[in-house]
Structure 1
Amino acid sequence: MFKTIKSDLPASLVVFFVALPLCLGIALASGAPLFSGLIAGIIGGIVVGGLSGSNVGVSGPAAGLAAIVLTAIGTLGGYQNFLVAVVLGGVIQLLFGVLKAGVIGYYFPSSVIKGMLTGIGIIIILKQIPHFFGYDNEPEGADSFIEASGENTFTAILHITDNITLGSMVIGLIGLGVILFWDLILSKKAKFFKVIQGPLVAVVLGIIYVVVTSGNESLAILPKHLVSVPIPEDATSFLNQFSFPNFAAITNSEVWVIAFTIALVASLETLLCVEATDKLDPHKNVTPTNRELLAQGTGNIISGLIGGLPITQVIVRSSANIQSGGQSKLSAIIHGFLLLISVIVIPRLLNMIPLSVLAAILLVVGYKLAKPKLFKTMYQLGWKQWLPFITTVLGIVFTDLLVGIGLGLMVGIVVILLKSYQNSHFLHIEDKSNGKHKIKMTLAEEVTFFNKGAILKELDSLPRDTYLELDLIKTRYLDYDIIEILEDFLHKASERNIDIKLVSKRGIEENPASFIEFFRTRPKSKLSLS
């Protein structure tokens, strides 16, 4: 794990700066103590990061649970009663992992996962634009810019011109310029600029700007436009920030209902995030989903026991980790320790970081998740990919994460049922004759995303030094999701010394990459082999 520390350390710094305001903002939006968000971020990094099988996933408090937490605290009559539900929710997640419920994550089509990433990217951009210009009436991480007047995200953006803070806008523009210049130009010039990340430089410049302009009325940044970390006066006041569950409330049936709700929603968000981060991962690692549920359950138990919010794997932190070059779980673990050390040692320094600089970091993260080129690519793949994709994007932007994913999944199921008039399966035959380890895999007539889990498991279980013959002669329809799985497997096959021969109606392909490229470049990507 420490072999990649040169990549993981700078990535962990970026994740730290992304996670810090989100932990605080989600706690504020949840109606919980601010310190509870930091506890969840610390446990999500150190505990869940250490137990997880994901190399690039980062866990912490999630905005998707903010509304549930806010309602639950009021329903249960206090935060300490709510913590009992968090602990029980973690226990239920452990049960999910033991029962191997993680397989659910494989039954979401690629188009929906890409739509989820894109929708989240758009939400990140929309939500950070007001903060970038110094309009900070709503905490970071909340689901929408809702105020007493009923203002939403879009009306908040329209009102920016009436609420611009000059100092925030100036340092925000400087920070964004530094990040882009660093990413597009300097990072390609020397290794030094890859070790020292642009976001770190932008944050340092932001702190310097706050110090230099502190006496200037027009350019100074007010405290409400800066990070706000609780500052303990001594060890006793620091320890007093922790809360502990009131287990006397365990007999309350409402506690169990909320615990199951937290476990279900947190598990679903985690599995979807796992699927998405695996797609973003340049090394195409496959995260063991059942192990992830066990890790998340353990994290939620510990977080609940010491006063933290519920934890899930979070796509914003995970994508920031991947984009910053994180390669192993060490990045997530270090980010957790950075959160812990910073709130103990340098809370006053953290409170000098402008929110507009952190917004600049998140604007870049959001853009990389929702690149305009992706819309064009998905449209060119045909209506079977485009319709679930755009439905998911619009659903997430205009409603919320789970509703958007649900809508996209329903559209995806309808689309696949229209095409898959016959059940799809595949046959795996192993032949060790003549002393050679040869495996033949024959795909069925119709192969769709419903077969993702089984095919992933079979390909991942292939031993090293194997000769694989993939028979597609009888296959008439090959779903785009399966093409992606095969493409990802080609990347790993060379590392495991697996030779592949592909047999189809086009003939024998000793180079399967050319076969896959043939399908990826076909107009509308019909993927029909007949």
Structure 2
Amino acid sequence: MFKYLKNDLPASIVVFFVALPLCLGIALASGAPLFSGLIAGIVGGIVVGALSGSQIGVSGPAAGLAAIVLTAITALGGYENFLVAVVLGGVIQLAFGFLRLGIIGYYFPSSVIKGMLTGIGIIIILKQIPHFFGYDADPEGDFAFFQIDGENTFSEIINTVNFISPGATLIAIIGLGILLLWSNVLSKKGKIFSIIQGPLVAVAAGIIYFLVTQGSDLFSISQEHLVSVPIPDSIDSFMGQFSFPNFGVITKPEIWVTGFTIALVASLETLLCVEATDKLDPEKRVTPTNRELLAQGTGNIISGFIGGLPITQVIVRSSANIQSGGKTKMSAIVHGFLLLISVIAIPKILNYIPLSVLAAILFIVGFKLAKPSTFKAMWNAGWKQFLPFIVTVLVIVFKDLLWGISIGLAVGIVVVLYKSYQNSHFLHKEDVDVSNGKQKMKMTLAEEVTFFNKGAILKELDRLPENTYLELDVRNTRYLDNDIVEILEDFVEKAKNRHIDIKLISQRGVIENPESFIEFFNLRSKSA
């Protein structure tokens, strides 16, 4: 874990600066205490990071759970009651891990995973545009298209025109320039520019700019455009920020329903993020998914016990970690300690960081997730790949993450069924056989033929003209569904009336007796 500390330490600093406003913003969007987001970020970094088998994944509070949390806090009668559901959700996730349900994530098509990454990248860019220009009316974690204040993503961008802050915009442009210069030019000039990362320099420049321009009428940055971390004035006030579950409500059915919902949604988001981060990992390491569920469950139990939000592995932080050069889980663990140290030791300094600089950092993260080259590559891969991909992207941008993944998966399944419908058989026509005046046709069935293929096969059999000689080749067929057997049996009877002669070619030999066809089909159906 310490071998790549020179890579992991700079990456952890970048992830820390990305995670800090997200933790606060998601807590705000969830209707929870601001400190609860920081608790979740700390536990996600230190506890989940240490227990997880993922080398580059980073966990913390997730925007995808904000709507569930917001509703549940009110429905369950308060935040302390909600924390019981968080703890129960963690316990249920442990059960998922022990039952080895981590394999679920592998059943999502690659096109949907790439669509998820691209959609999140577009959302990051769109959501950061107002912050880049100093319009910070909405919480950072408000990732839904239709927002809690009645606005939507595009109307917020349009509203930005009326609320541009010159100071915030100027330092955002400077920060973006530093990032581009660092990644495209300076990182190739010397080792020092690889050790000290561009985002750290951009944040430092933002703090210096804020301190220097204080008192300026035009280019100063007002307090609402800065990071806002709670500042305790004593140990007692710091400890007073923690909340604890009210286990007196554990027998209520709605607590268990919420706990199961949190476990299910958090597990699904985590498994999909694991699949996505493994694809982004330059070293192509594979995360043990059952171990990941156990780590996430443990993290949610601890987070719930001390007043934190639910935790998942998060693609924004994970991708920032990868793109900043993180090599091992040490970067995730160190980022958790940085969050802990910062809220205890330097909350005032953190509150000097302009949100517009963080927006510039997230612009780069979003662009790397949603590169134009990705759209081109998916288009070139054909419509079977592009359609689930673009549907996933659009629904994530205009609805939310879970809807996008679900509808993208549904489209992917429809595409598979359509191709299965098409590829169930191969029909080949041959010249007329002069000896008996019948056109010879050959139909070869696929290796697996199921009820999905009924329509295609029935259509081809019904289209066969009268006085045809049909060779039905099933030598490569390993599975023949009973529905297909019934179609073939019916066709044998219809063929007599249409003067169609049938020859069945199987591994057992050639069969030309209609009565033997039915016996053969029945045997194949039973063996399958």
TM range (shorter): 0.7 to 0.9
- Report the CA distance between 1:406 and its aligned residue: 0.6
User: What percentage of residue pairs aligned between the two structures are identical?
Assistant: 75
Find the aligned partners of 1:112 and 1:16 in 2 and give their Cα distance: 28
Contact 2:145–2:399, Cα closer than 8 Å, also in 1? no
Deviations 1:322-381 (A, max 9, x none): 000001000000000000000000000000000000000000000000001110110000
- Report the CA distance between 1:417 and its aligned residue: 1.7
Matched residues, number:
429
CA RMSD, Structure 1 to Structure 2 (Å): 1.7
Unpaired runs of at least 5, structure 1: 425-443, 447-473, 476-530
Deviations 1:397-429 (A, max 9, x none): 0100000011110111111122235999xxxxx
Contact 1:135–1:164, Cα closer than 8 Å, also in 2? yes
Aligned residue for 2:305? 305
Say if 1:274 and 1:195 are closer, same or farther in 2 by CA, change over 3 A: same
Find the aligned partners of 1:268 and 1:146 in 2 and give their Cα distance: 23
Aligned residue for 2:354? 354
Contact 1:127–1:144, Cα closer than 8 Å, also in 2? no
Find the aligned partners of 1:156 and 1:412 in 2 and give their Cα distance: 33
| Structure index of larger Rg | 2
Aligned residue for 2:284? 284
Find the aligned partners of 2:402 and 2:39 in 1 and give their Cα distance: 25
Map 1:73-152 to 2 at 5 A. 73-144=73-144, 150-152=150-152
Map 1:3-42 to 2 at 5 A. 3-42=3-42
Say if 1:413 and 1:48 are closer, same or farther in 2 by CA, change over 3 A: same
- Report the CA distance between 1:445 and its aligned residue: 6.1
Contact 1:138–1:146, Cα closer than 8 Å, also in 2? no
Contact 1:303–1:309, Cα closer than 8 Å, also in 2? yes
Contact 2:146–2:399, Cα closer than 8 Å, also in 1? no
Deviations 1:408-457 (A, max 9, x none): 10111111122235999xxxxxxxxxxxxxxxxxxx968xxxxxxxxxxx
TM-score with structure 2 length normalisation? Answer: 0.80
Deviations 1:439-496 (A, max 9, x none): xxxxx968xxxxxxxxxxxxxxxxxxxxxxxxxxx99xxxxxxxxxxxxxxxxxxxxx
- Report the CA distance between 1:147 and its aligned residue: 6.5
Find the aligned partners of 2:275 and 2:193 in 1 and give their Cα distance: 30
Contact 2:392–2:405, Cα closer than 8 Å, also in 1? yes
Aligned residue for 1:331? 331
Aligned residue for 1:43? 43
Deviations 1:197-238 (A, max 9, x none): 000000000000000001101111111100000000011110
Aligned residue for 2:178? 178
Contact 2:49–2:59, Cα closer than 8 Å, also in 1? yes
Find the aligned partners of 1:253 and 1:229 in 2 and give their Cα distance: 36
Contact 2:145–2:400, Cα closer than 8 Å, also in 1? no
Aligned residue for 1:52? 52
Unpaired runs of at least 5, structure 2: 425-445, 449-475, 478-528
Aligned residue for 1:405? 405
Runs of 4+ in 1 over 4 A off after TM superposition: 145-149, 421-424
Say if 1:181 and 1:367 are closer, same or farther in 2 by CA, change over 3 A: same
Find the aligned partners of 1:121 and 1:407 in 2 and give their Cα distance: 18
Residue identity opposite 1:204 in structure 2: A
Find the aligned partners of 1:299 and 1:264 in 2 and give their Cα distance: 15
Aligned residue for 2:273? 273
Find the aligned partners of 2:377 and 2:250 in 1 and give their Cα distance: 51
Find the aligned partners of 2:70 and 2:104 in 1 and give their Cα distance: 28
SS of structure 2 residue aligned to 1:159: helix
Aligned residue for 2:68? 68
Find the aligned partners of 1:233 and 1:300 in 2 and give their Cα distance: 28
Map 1:475-490 to 2 at 5 A. none
Find the aligned partners of 2:327 and 2:91 in 1 and give their Cα distance: 30
Aligned residue for 1:262? 262
Aligned residue for 1:155? 155
Find the aligned partners of 1:232 and 1:215 in 2 and give their Cα distance: 26
SS of structure 2 residue aligned to 1:54: coil
